[in-house]
Amino acid sequence: MARARKAYDEASIKTLDALEHIRLRSGMYIGRLGDGSHPQDGIYVMLKEVVDNAIDEFIMGAGKRIELRRDGETLEVRDYGRGIPLGKLVDCVSRINTGGKYSDDVFQFSVGLNGVGTKAVNALSSRFEVQSWRDGRFRRAAFERGRLVDDATGKEAQGRDGTRLRFTPDPEIFGHYEWNEEFVAQRLRYYAFLNAGLTLDYAGTKYHSSGGIGDLLAHEMGSEESLYPIVHQSQERLEFAFTHTHAYGETYWSFVNGQHTHDGGTHQSAFREGLLKAVNEFAGKNFAGEDVRDGLLGAIAIKLQDPVFEAQTKTKLGSIEVRTWIVPAVKDRIVRWLHEHKDDAERLLEKVRQNERVRKELSAIKKDARERARKVAIRIPKLTDCRMHYDDARARRRDDTTIFLTEGDSAGGVMVQSRDVETQAVFSLRGKPLNCHGLKRDAIYKNEELYNLMRALGVEDGIDGLRYARVVIATDADVDGMHIRNLLLTYFLRYFEDLVLKGHVYILETPLFRVRNRKETRYCYSEAERDRAMADLRGHEITRFKGLGEISPKEFGQFIGSDIRMAPVAVNGIGEIGRCLDFFMGKNTPERKSFIVDNLATEVL
């Protein structure tokens, strides 16, 4: 029976005020919601928006210290800048398109130019408080879910000028969430690196840097060995640093007015171009860009009036005019450095020449691999693609696409039947992949399965070609499944570490147990959840899920639907990658065995 159509008339048209729109369409303002388990989850974006305002004060020469503290779910940020003008305090945190950042005389280099950030934090908080001190007077306002509930003014002779904001992300919007202290610390470290001379004080730890993004690169490298000392150059609107390592690919950290542009943009592309031009001019050669940049670690930070980003979350710069001044500035500074540091320059050029030799040696192997693949099948074996993996009109990944990497035809068949055919793809592995640790890049092309996986992801020429927003490892909850997971992570971290560093790789969490009786079914992801379900459900039965293929497609569909549980794969810094791979995937079997025995004993105790 056909469903009756609802009339489309005046009653169908709705007008939302700004507060209602933010709460209804929160993703437009803060990106993903999440539960705090990923560094890009909404609660950290809210923290960023609040701290950004304090950073803007420092940039304008007002206040060199920011204090932060957390009380349960509530975060407080106190700066010692100029303080929000008292007469406009309420408007500045509650009325869209209201703020001082529209005035270039007051704020020259700010990220929050749209007058939205703090308002979104206010609207998405169950409780939001703001207090400003100026010239011995203060004004304090409190809001609940964006609605003003208290407003007071007075004198406070001892109050230092500045602003204090407290906010509690609203569980009505975010559900259950938890702050991850390491994610918070990482953001504060970046703020310190990008604002040399600023001190951020949080939970007894002070974050301070005098070396700018040169310190950032050194921190991210950790124990990773560089081929020459980090090159660090700083100008009024441009700061960059770089070096080469023995790793594959190229990795960047890029920023605009302190905003971490995870997806790069025009400033990062201009830096890459300037570097290439500088090396070729100094060497009197015409090296290919991939040869100059393979193994490169780079960081660039610029200050820009009226930056244009590709989304409200500001992860990619779109301002095309920056190329005209970044490219020559980077080129001139690097050429000068190369002439002034001849020994280091020769180490850099030897790395480039080595990259060129390896690329030419690989070209024949690549050709053979492509010919083999062409003979086997037109389509990529073992890949069941989704319909919407790529937007040809805009040539960019769809943000809601996922590819599941699963073991064997049984689990793959279940996922193919239960997936969303529009946005979810499945790649079925044939047993355990090759352990890539310590192998050269030709291993990818000589191993059929690893080559097909690279083709499926579209990353042969770097992650700019990545065909899916999320790469999800989906293996069984047993020893073999864990081993396959580690082998895949080794593959990514060895040859495509940016996939992990940019937050594209996840681990699928599936239930270990099903506890049910005649009235209710509960899926449990841990033994503790199982025990609680057993206590709550009388007359229950328990099913232990070991393999994904044991779960019916109808049942499995809910585990990869809107309530999917995925754990992001993250590393503290690239310096940790080599150490971890050496330990877990290297030839140190006795040391690894002792570690397992010691930790198993600890768990038993």
529-561 pLDDT per residue, tens: 899 999 999 888 998 887 777 788 888 888 888
Give, in order, the Cα–Cα distances in Å from 367 to each of 364, 374, 382: 5, 11, 21
Element (H, E) at 220: helix 213-221
What is the average pLDDT score of the chain?
A: 84
pTM: 0.74
Range with the lowest mean pLDDT among 22-31, 128-137, 330-339? 22-31
Contacting residues for 590 by C-beta, under 8 A, at least 6 apart? none
Amino acid at 364: A
Pairing of strands 390-391, 396-397: antiparallel
Q: How confident is the model at residue 344 (pLDDT cuts 50, 70, 90)?
A: very high
Percent above pLDDT 70 for the chain: 85
Q: At what angle do helices 342-376 and 323-340 cross, to 10 degrees?
A: 120
Whole-angstrom Cα distance, residue 351 to residue 93?
A: 52
Burial (CB < 10 A; 0-12, 13-18, 19+), residue 605, is exposed
Domain boundaries, the chain: 18-206, 213-358, 381-510+552-570, 513-544, 575-605
Question: Largest Cα–Cα distance of the chain, in whole Å?
Answer: 81
Give how far Cα 134 sits from Cα of 81, 83, 102, 161, Å.
10, 6, 21, 5
The answer to whether the CB of 267 falls within 8 A of the CB of 302 is yes
**Rounded Cα gap, residues 245 and 13, in angstroms:** 58
**287 touches 352 (CB < 8 A):** yes
pLDDT value at position 576? 66
In order, the DSSP letters of 43-58 are HHHHHHHHHHHHHHHH
pLDDT digits (tens, 9 = 90+) for 477-499: 778 888 898 899 989 988 888 88
In the prediction, which pLDDT does 509 show? 87
Q: How many CB atoms lie within 10 A of CB 543?
A: 14
Please tell me the distance from the alpha carbon of residue 272 to that of residue 285, in angstroms, as a whole number.
17
Average pLDDT over residues 68-85: 93
CA 307 from centre of chain: 21
Which fold, 381-510+552-570?
Answer: Rossmann fold (3.40.50)
Q: What is the pLDDT of residues 398-417, one digit of tens each?
A: 678 999 999 878 888 888 99
In 276-287, which positions are buried (b, 16+ CB within 10 angstroms) versus exposed (e)? Answer: bbbbbebbeeeb
Top CATH class of 213-358 equals alpha beta
**H runs (alpha helix) in 227-265:** none
Token output for 476: 């069984």
Number of H helices, E strands in the chain: 21, 24
Closest CA to 473 of 464, 481, 461: 481
Residue 383's DSSP bridge partners are 427
Sign (positive/negative) of CA torsion 477, 483, 487, 492? positive
Instruction: Give start and end residues of each alpha helix (H) in 300-447.
Output: 323-340, 342-376, 408-418, 442-446
Contact 313, 27 (CB under 8 A): no
CATH of 18-206, one of 3.20.20.80, 1.10.569.10, 3.30.565.10, 3.40.50.720: 3.30.565.10
